[in-house]
Structure 1
Amino acid sequence: MTTAEQPRATVRQAAPATLVERLADALESAGIAYCQWKGHSKRNRWMTGAGDLDLLVDAAAWPALVEVLLQLGFKRAVAPPWLQLPGVDSYVAYDQAGGALFHVHTYHRIVIGLPWRTTYAVPLAETVLAGATPSFVVRAPAPEHELLLVLLQAAQRSTVRDIVQRGRSDWIAATRRELQRLEPRAEWSKLVATIERDLPSVSVRLFERCLDAFLADASRWRTCMLARALTWGLRPFARRPALGATPRAIAARVASTIGLPAPVEGKGLITGGRVLALVGGDGAGKTTCATELTAWLGRELATLRVHLGRPPRSLASLAAGCALKVARWLHAGLAAYFELLRCVCTARDRYRLYRRAWRFAARGGVVIAERYPIPANYALCGPSEEQGVQTGLDTGVARLLRRVEWTYYEWMRPPDATIVLQLDPELAVSRKTDEPEDYVRERAQIVWNTDWAGVDGVYIVDAGRALPEVLSDLKSLVWSLI
């Protein structure tokens, strides 16, 4: 029987392993002692990238862990100094299959608490790792150890605010459900032995009373007082927050309450930031793509979006604009000079925004820049002479103004990478219906006709496809560039 005559067998393709599954397999293959020491029950969050994956790892296996993470495409990111915790590192990776960023916290030791409050580096790492067993995808602590850690985290989190605020705190209800899940499975004798051996300053009796208060949904006052008393036993392992951390956290909370952006920086890449320029004609989707990329990266990394075609206007630009309006009413010849002066002020504003972008990248941030002035793109965003503004005016003053304007553009170095959203001019016209057709076609033709092969660091993306396809390619490209 020939191959063609053989009966066709239905082969079910196995679903591709997620990034977390591949990470777990790699850790097991490398023989690395680890476990997810908190948040294990929140599977729908850390499996999809909506939440962080907190891994406790044996200190001796740290070099092997870093090698595994780098092989899987993770990049190390560092939080601002006031948000850093000793013994805790952050790694971020892009899962192309799902389109999400995954954030892994790697712990040398168990640190309980948030960086803007007193934290506790409890000496439980060896015990927890020794008792960890395979669970859903990754290894998890033994039930009694997980119960201990959950209650210690709840005790550290309890504050007077939980007593005075209206309604029951959501986190308290979530903690109670978690404790109710773990308490029947925990071996009390092993739990007591762990506390007496590793946390001798913590009273077992007090621990039991605090656990009962959370399980029984006791009064706020009783729960908070017992929780604070339990935390008191962790004082030997306490670490005060960095100077200025608490005021910054309060400012972020106040800003969030009144609807303002929180004044909190994201994590910077340890390898250094990048300035990425998005180039394209009208209708290519630059604004939409820049918005999506900023939101996607900004959830985990320090990200800044700038539009150098429309920089924030300085007082000098506003004054030049007002003077131009008056000059047009008084004398056309005078208006020509003020138009060149306004172009000089615009170049200065662009340079100031350019300077801000590169300083941001120097701190490890990623900059998504629209209308970045590069020589190949000067006709869309560049010196007035390249755009045909008052080119017939040839006097000493006009030449001086043009020379000053050119100086600002010459001071701007090329971006780290230029991403060109290539779009057929006729398709651009059909998309950009709020502008005159000839205007849109002319600007799209400039990008379409440019020989990008002669420009260093340029990557072409076909913007004529559906937006999800374009964004998928852009995310993969951006992640490879940063």
Structure 2
Amino acid sequence: MSLPVIAVIGADGSGKSTVCIELKAWLETRYPVKLCHLGRQTGGIGRMIAKLPFFGKKLDHGIAGKANKARSDKGPKAGVALIMFLLSLKRVYRFYKMLRLKKQGFLIITDRFPQTSVIGGLDGPDLTVDHPDNIISSYFTRWERKLYYWMTDHKPDLVIRLNVDIDTAMQRKPDHRLSSMVKKIETIQKITFNGAPILDLYSNTQPLEEIVQEAKKAITEILSKKY
């Protein structure tokens, strides 16, 4: 029987990376372990653009405006839809590599996990309009949804959900957009992961040591019951 997939999810600033590293160091003393990042990792590019002198913030706002316009009732234009679809393929490629590692016998810890509970929310499909006016955009939307539903059919054995409030998140990640952070925090509460067991932890009120210990306890229970 293959080893489990443990998904660590949460908004930026919730402590995902730190918890993932702690769990990996603990587990790899007994199991072959791989840590997989299942995001698109494009947020850093936007923040780099915003930091450019003179025109960085203006350019960043322009990009954000186009992204919001793409989510209007008519949907994005063909070129924008293509770019958004290609960015989603980056996540699909990372997910496929993760499944390959699982088949090779590794216990998997994922930083983030794709979801379809909230279309357009954190780690969900980017093409949010169900039936865009543009035929090409409609084609990319259908394919993106199929790929996301394929990914979410592979539900994790355990989801560790790190909850954080907006003040703590922005204090830890001051270079992030406030509106984007609010949306991510709201999305986290709505994700179901097809009925996968979810352990809720609170990184704004619980110390890191307590969070890690509770996560270890839940993982130990999963391993003892199934593996």
TM-score by length of 2: 0.71
Is residue 368 from structure 1 mapped to residue 109 from structure 2 by the alignment?
yes
- The residue type paired with residue 125 of structure 2 is P
- Which of 437, 442, 454 is matched with 2:178 structurally? 437
Inter-partner Cα distance in structure 2 for 1:453 and 1:443: 16
- Going from structure 1 to structure 2, the CA distance change for 1:377 and 1:274 (only over 3 Å counts) comes to farther
Question: Where in structure 2 are there 5+ consecutive unaligned residues?
Answer: 43-62, 67-75
Describe the SS at the equivalent of 2:77: helix
Structure-2 residue corresponding to 1:293: 23
Structure-1 residue corresponding to 2:127: 385
- Going from structure 1 to structure 2, the CA distance change for 1:296 and 1:451 (only over 3 Å counts) comes to closer
Is residue 477 from structure 1 mapped to residue 207 from structure 2 by the alignment?
no
Structure-2 residue corresponding to 1:55: none
- The residue type paired with residue 395 of structure 1 is N
Question: Where in structure 1 are there 5+ consecutive unaligned residues?
Answer: 1-270, 313-324, 329-334
- The residue type paired with residue 304 of structure 1 is K
- Which of 244, 265, 277 is matched with 2:7 structurally? 277
Q: Deviations over 1:372-424 (max 9, x none)?
A: 112235511121134x7xx8951111111111211211211222222211222
- Going from structure 1 to structure 2, the CA distance change for 1:380 and 1:396 (only over 3 Å counts) comes to same
Deviation at 1:453, TM superposition (A): 10
| Mapped contact 1:275–1:357 kept (Cα < 8 A) | no
- The residue type paired with residue 294 of structure 1 is K
Q: Deviations over 1:323-354 (max 9, x none)?
A: xx9xx9xxxxxx93222112222333322221
Describe the SS at the equivalent of 2:117: helix
Inter-partner Cα distance in structure 2 for 1:453 and 1:341: 27
Structure-2 residue corresponding to 1:405: 144
Structure-1 residue corresponding to 2:200: 460
Describe the SS at the equivalent of 1:402: helix
| Mapped contact 1:429–1:441 kept (Cα < 8 A) | no
Inter-partner Cα distance in structure 2 for 1:277 and 1:460: 12
| Mapped contact 1:280–1:286 kept (Cα < 8 A) | yes
Greater RCO between the two (CA within 8 Å, min separation 6)?
Answer: 2
- Which of 169, 172, 176 is matched with 1:428 structurally? 169
Structure-1 residue corresponding to 2:47: none
- Going from structure 1 to structure 2, the CA distance change for 1:293 and 1:453 (only over 3 Å counts) comes to closer
- Going from structure 1 to structure 2, the CA distance change for 1:358 and 1:398 (only over 3 Å counts) comes to same
Deviation at 1:480, TM superposition (A): 2.1
Inter-partner Cα distance in structure 2 for 1:375 and 1:397: 22
- Going from structure 1 to structure 2, the CA distance change for 1:478 and 1:444 (only over 3 Å counts) comes to same
| Mapped contact 1:425–1:445 kept (Cα < 8 A) | no
- Going from structure 1 to structure 2, the CA distance change for 1:474 and 1:406 (only over 3 Å counts) comes to same
Q: Superposed, which structure 2 residues align to 1:57-72 within 5 Å?
A: none
Deviation at 1:284, TM superposition (A): 0.8
Deviation at 1:481, TM superposition (A): 2.1
Deviation at 1:440, TM superposition (A): 2.2
- Output the aligned Cα RMSD: 3.0
Inter-partner Cα distance in structure 2 for 1:445 and 1:294: 28
Structure-2 residue corresponding to 1:304: 34
Q: Superposed, which structure 2 residues align to 1:312-391 within 5 Å?
A: 336-376=77-117, 378=119, 379-386=121-128
Describe the SS at the equivalent of 2:127: helix
Q: Deviations over 1:429-449 (max 9, x none)?
A: 33322323333233223224x
| Mapped contact 2:157–2:196 kept (Cα < 8 A) | no
Q: How many residue pairs are counted as aligned between the two chains?
A: 189
Q: Deviations over 1:178-233 (max 9, x none)?
A: xxxxxxxxxxxxxxxxxxxxxxxxxxxxxxxxxxxxxxxxxxxxxxxxxxxxxxxx
Inter-partner Cα distance in structure 2 for 1:350 and 1:451: 18
TM-score by length of 1: 0.35
- The residue type paired with residue 383 of structure 1 is P
Q: Deviations over 1:84-137 (max 9, x none)?
A: xxxxxxxxxxxxxxxxxxxxxxxxxxxxxxxxxxxxxxxxxxxxxxxxxxxxxx
- Going from structure 1 to structure 2, the CA distance change for 1:439 and 1:401 (only over 3 Å counts) comes to closer
Describe the SS at the equivalent of 2:85: helix
Is residue 418 from structure 1 mapped to residue 148 from structure 2 by the alignment?
no
Of all paired residues, the percent bearing the same amino acid is 24
